[in-house]
Amino acid sequence: MKTKNKTLLIGWDAADWRQLKPLMEKGVMPTLKHLVDCGTHGPLSSLEPMISPVLWTSMATGRRAYDHGIHGFVEAKPNGDGIRPIRASKRKEPAVWNVLNRFGFKTHVINWWPSHPAESVDGIMVSNFYGIPEQKNNSDWPLMPGAVHPVEKRDEYADLQVHPSELTAEILGPFFPNYPQLDVKDPIIQSVAKILAHTCSTHNAITQAMEADDWDFSAVYYNGLDHFLHVANRYAPPQMPDVSDEDFEKYHYVVEAALRFHDMMLARLLKLAGEACNIILVSDHGFDVGEQRKVALPEQMGAPSLEHQPYGVFLGYGPDFKVGFELKGASLLDVCPTILQLFYCPVSRALDGVVLWDALQQKGPTQTVPDFSGIPAFHSFFEEENQLLDEELLLQLQALGYVSDTPTDLHIAAVLRENQYYLARSLVDGGKYQQAVVVLQGLIQEDPNALRFQFLLLHAAFQCNDTVAIAAQIQQLADNHRGDDVRTLYYKGLWYLNQQQPRLAVACFDAVINYAKSRPGLLLQIAHAYVQAGAFSEATAVLDRVPVAKLTQPDVWHFLKAQCLFESREPEQALDHVLSAIAERFAFPERHALLAAILWELKEQEDAVQALHVASKLAPTNQQYLEQLRSWNGKIKSDVVERYLIDKEREKNEHIVVVSGLPRSGTSLMMQVLAAQGFPIFRDATRQPDTHNPRGYFEHQSVKQLAVNPDFLMDAKGKAIKIVAPLVQRLPPHFHYKVIFMHRPTTEVILSQEKMKGASEAQLFQFFPLERALKLEQTAAASLQQLEKAPHVEVIQIAYRDMMTQPEKVCKQLTDFMGIEFDGNTINRVIDTSLYRSKL
């Protein structure tokens, strides 16, 4: 086995390079500056929802919230009697330390959120219930049960907890240099004392573990920075208009002081880690800075997370990391697989992230496994309740504004609904729009007045083109007298665009623009809709009205502007704008694709190929980028791109073959053909053959759960699976599919379906269900349309009648589509024309 270096993972909640870099330059964060200068660093893109327990669990597991199971700050108590802070026991996926333990590495984990009760790791684990004072003074402050593993270490760690009441003016003074008479009743001072004490407790625990016990991997999460920012960022320079001179004078230094203290702690960690240790410093999201800071937050649950920004920090330093390298495009989901790679452990193919090879000194193959089944997601020695501590932690969450403070039954239901809302946001973020629609429909039923549920549903429904849900939701908003709400008008405009009614769309958007003068973000959304619809001159007119200086995301404006300029054949100007967009935020493949197109137009062909290569790496399932890259690379040869294309070709062969179409359109027959050809079939024995399908249905029961739980598709790779329309619209985007879509005249489909129900042919011709036939046709058309638009799907339509009457034609179609030779005799043997009973 190869030698591995130790690795220390440090989490600084809410750290943002825009706050750190000025202090590094000022010379007050020398340790961080040294790590940046001698390591690899860059932004780390966050996930939705930007809620710390959700994000830190994604960091540890490499999975999104809908997979790892941690959906919010709180959970229902097991007895249903109220809520309590979220427990690690809810985690459904193994964390990086569980995998490392399985491969024999010793791990210390301190204060990860959530990590209570402490898991029985091979090493030390101190849970996030450590260092939480449940009373006002530090006398008789016992360590919480279940907070430390192994149990025999309890006393050692209990003594290292720092209580806020221990902190003296000498300690707190540097946070308030212009506030000599520290007032004990000042709520900011009280908050700073609490946060600082907890930060010290965390730091004491990690330094103790690193110094006193052997380890291969240590992870520590400091939540203090996020709390310092929520409490005092508004007082930081430059002075905000609503902050009085007196308050500014007193509190302006708190955030800088907090960051300086983190730098000092970092120096200690570096010393204890030693030279042969990799250091990874990460944050889960960024934070509002400068002019971006909000004067006030809306009164809604989870409102403080509105101060979070989508880019946190990544820093890798040590023997395995590149020196002085600036990393781009890293995601929070990449941290777990990268750590596993540092230890040469296998990486699960089910993980959502990738190894950050660009950050590492050496490249090498990643050993992968299908999943981490067999490695327990969570294993603790402890399951006792602690009512007092639950209350204290809930109070902390309330104080920060994440949870409201009236613990009635209604409130509890609202809090748990909030978790479902977070789940829906995670599903939208992960591209699982149809599943998000289902979750949001449930939420709207429970709380029909919550507009944020309704607008998120509309957003998700537009993404997956769920026209039924869109129409129903717009109608519901109109019924609830919200038809003139500016956001409703925006979605109505989108709906009209979708329905090819541009005049009505323009009328809606014009109304929105008049409302939205003070909401430049909404103007951008309209410009985006116009660009999507190919209405570039309308988009340009809207973009020119946007006050760019007021935008929180000017990169979006630059990108849209670049698209419009490129369309109006002004590539040089377009180039400036797309480069600005990429410089601001890198990890958007469509920006690199546009850059590539512009460069190609400007005859910078080698650079164009490189840009498209980046786009394709960022969007690995986008077939359009791949095809273009193949075509260009044929003219401008690049070894790197060539290798990449060969790898992609190999991956493509792992696609899932989906046989689809309306029920009774010949889907079972096509499955029989594939089976007879020797193609592996994904089916179970639940539905047996009957007189309507004497040779079997070739179905799998899991397909019925596709919208809710598509995980079974992992096992369908390389096989054929039957998924009828409209269910086929819910295929998740992270696989490649070859869809064989069966076409049969709707009248025949209806005849066949009605006969299954026992109706006679004579009855049917007398009372033909015309309305249902129309609906079926719409369903088939919508399914087909969506499949044909999806970049990760290839579709072929096969006519049922051709199978009956021209099998040799079907044989050729399948051979061309599947890339494997189909035998005409085999098809002939399968097709039994006597079963073609419902025909016109």
Partner 1 sequence: MTIKQNHLKNSETKIPSEFWVQPDAKGSLGLLALGARGVKMWREARTQLQNTTHENQK
Least distance from C-beta 193 to partner 1, angstroms?
5
Least distance from C-beta 271 to partner 1, angstroms?
8
> In this structure, are strands 40-45 and 311-317 parallel, antiparallel, or unpaired?
antiparallel
Q: Are 652 and 734 in contact (CB under 8 A)?
A: no
* Cα torsion 581, 586, 590, 591: sign: positive
CB-nearer residue toward partner 1: 1 or 184:
184
Least distance from C-beta 301 to partner 1, angstroms?
26
Least distance from C-beta 35 to partner 1, angstroms?
15
CA distance 658 to 738: 6
Choosing from 184, 296, 549, 685, the residue that interacts with partner 1 (CB under 8 A) is 184
CA distance 710 to 658: 14
> Which residue in this structure is represented by tokens 């294309």?
645
Within 8 A by CB and 6+ apart from 195, the residues are 224, 227, 228, 231, 258
Site string for partner 1, 390-419 (x = CB under 8 A): ------------------------------
One-letter amino acid for residue 197 of the chain? A
CB-nearer residue toward partner 1: 162 or 670:
162
Q: Is 523 helix (H, G, I), strand (E, B) or coil?
A: helix
Choosing from 39, 42, 164, 224, the residue that interacts with partner 1 (CB under 8 A) is 164
| Selected range binding partner 1 among 101-109, 192-200, 489-497, 666-674, rule: CB under 8 A | 192-200
Least distance from C-beta 182 to partner 1, angstroms?
5
Least distance from C-beta 256 to partner 1, angstroms?
10
451 touching partner 1, by CB under 8 A: no
259 touching partner 1, by CB under 8 A: no
Residue 170 is encoded by which pair of tokens? Answer: 């000498």
Q: Are 757 and 692 in contact (CB under 8 A)?
A: no
CA distance 349 to 368: 6
465 touching partner 1, by CB under 8 A: no
Q: Are 441 and 413 in contact (CB under 8 A)?
A: no
279 touching partner 1, by CB under 8 A: no
295 touching partner 1, by CB under 8 A: no
Stretch 801-830 residues interacting with partner 1 (CB under 8 A): none
Stretch 2-31 residues interacting with partner 1 (CB under 8 A): 28, 30
> Which residue in this structure is represented by tokens 């000194």?
361
CB-nearer residue toward partner 1: 201 or 233:
201
189 touching partner 1, by CB under 8 A: yes
- Please state the separation of Cα 372 from the chain's center in Å: 20
CB-nearer residue toward partner 1: 19 or 426:
19
CB-nearer residue toward partner 1: 208 or 633:
208
Least distance from C-beta 471 to partner 1, angstroms?
55
519 touching partner 1, by CB under 8 A: no
Residue 612 is encoded by which pair of tokens? Answer: 């498209």
CA distance 353 to 342: 15
The one-character DSSP state at 738 is: E
CA distance 785 to 728: 11
Q: Are 40 and 325 in contact (CB under 8 A)?
A: yes
CB-nearer residue toward partner 1: 399 or 504:
399
Least distance from C-beta 130 to partner 1, angstroms?
13
168 touching partner 1, by CB under 8 A: yes
194 touching partner 1, by CB under 8 A: yes
Please state the length of the chain. 840
Residue 11's DSSP bridge partners are 221, 282
Residue 720's DSSP bridge partners are 657, 681
CB-nearer residue toward partner 1: 8 or 193:
193
* Cα torsion 112, 118, 121, 126: sign: positive
**What element of type H or E holds 45?**
strand 40-45
The one-character DSSP state at 148 is: E
261 touching partner 1, by CB under 8 A: yes
167 touching partner 1, by CB under 8 A: yes
Choosing from 71, 91, 260, 528, the residue that interacts with partner 1 (CB under 8 A) is 260
107 touching partner 1, by CB under 8 A: no
DSSP conformation letters of 268-331:
HHHHHH-SSEEEEEE-S-EE--GGG--S---SSTTGGGGGEESEEEEEEESTTBPSSEE--SEE
CB-nearer residue toward partner 1: 134 or 371:
134
CB-nearer residue toward partner 1: 235 or 559:
235
268 touching partner 1, by CB under 8 A: yes
573 touching partner 1, by CB under 8 A: no
CB-nearer residue toward partner 1: 112 or 311:
112
Residue 396 is encoded by which pair of tokens? Answer: 């902390």
- For residue 403, count CB atoms less than 10 angstroms from its CB and return exposed for 0-12, middle for 13-18, buried for 19 or more: buried
Choosing from 193, 360, 542, 611, the residue that interacts with partner 1 (CB under 8 A) is 193
On the question of a cis peptide bond just before residue 571, with omega within 30 degrees of 0, the verdict is: no
CB-nearer residue toward partner 1: 165 or 779:
165
Q: Is 471 helix (H, G, I), strand (E, B) or coil?
A: helix
DSSP conformation letters of 613-645:
HHHHHHSTT-HHHHHHHHHHHHHS--HHHHHHH
Choosing from 81, 152, 170, 246, the residue that interacts with partner 1 (CB under 8 A) is 170
C-alpha to C-alpha distances, 96 to 183, 282, 391, 664, nearest whole angstrom = 44, 15, 30, 47
Site string for partner 1, 198-237 (x = CB under 8 A): --x--xxxxxx--x--------------------------
| Selected range binding partner 1 among 48-56, 196-204, 500-508, 519-527, rule: CB under 8 A | 196-204
CB-nearer residue toward partner 1: 168 or 475:
168
Q: Are 766 and 822 in contact (CB under 8 A)?
A: no
76 touching partner 1, by CB under 8 A: no
Site for partner 1 (CB under 8 A): how many residues?
42
Site string for partner 1, 111-150 (x = CB under 8 A): ----------------------x--x--------------
One-letter amino acid for residue 393 of the chain? L
Choosing from 190, 368, 498, 826, the residue that interacts with partner 1 (CB under 8 A) is 190
One-letter amino acid for residue 836 of the chain? Y
Nearest residue to 7 via CA among 285, 314, 316: 316
CB-nearer residue toward partner 1: 176 or 455:
176
Choosing from 185, 363, 569, 650, the residue that interacts with partner 1 (CB under 8 A) is 185
CB-nearer residue toward partner 1: 193 or 795:
193
CA distance 210 to 205: 9
DSSP conformation letters of 668-735:
HHHHHHHHHTT--B---SSS---SSSTT-----GGGGGTTT-GGGGGGGTTSEEE--TTGGGG--TTS
CB-nearer residue toward partner 1: 162 or 562:
162
CB-nearer residue toward partner 1: 251 or 321:
251
CA distance 80 to 433: 30
Least distance from C-beta 307 to partner 1, angstroms?
24
CB-nearer residue toward partner 1: 128 or 838:
128
Instruction: List residues near partner 1 by CB under 8 A.
Output: 28, 30, 133, 136, 160, 162, 164-165, 167-174, 177, 180-185, 189-190, 193-194, 200, 203-208, 211, 260-261, 264-265, 267-268, 272
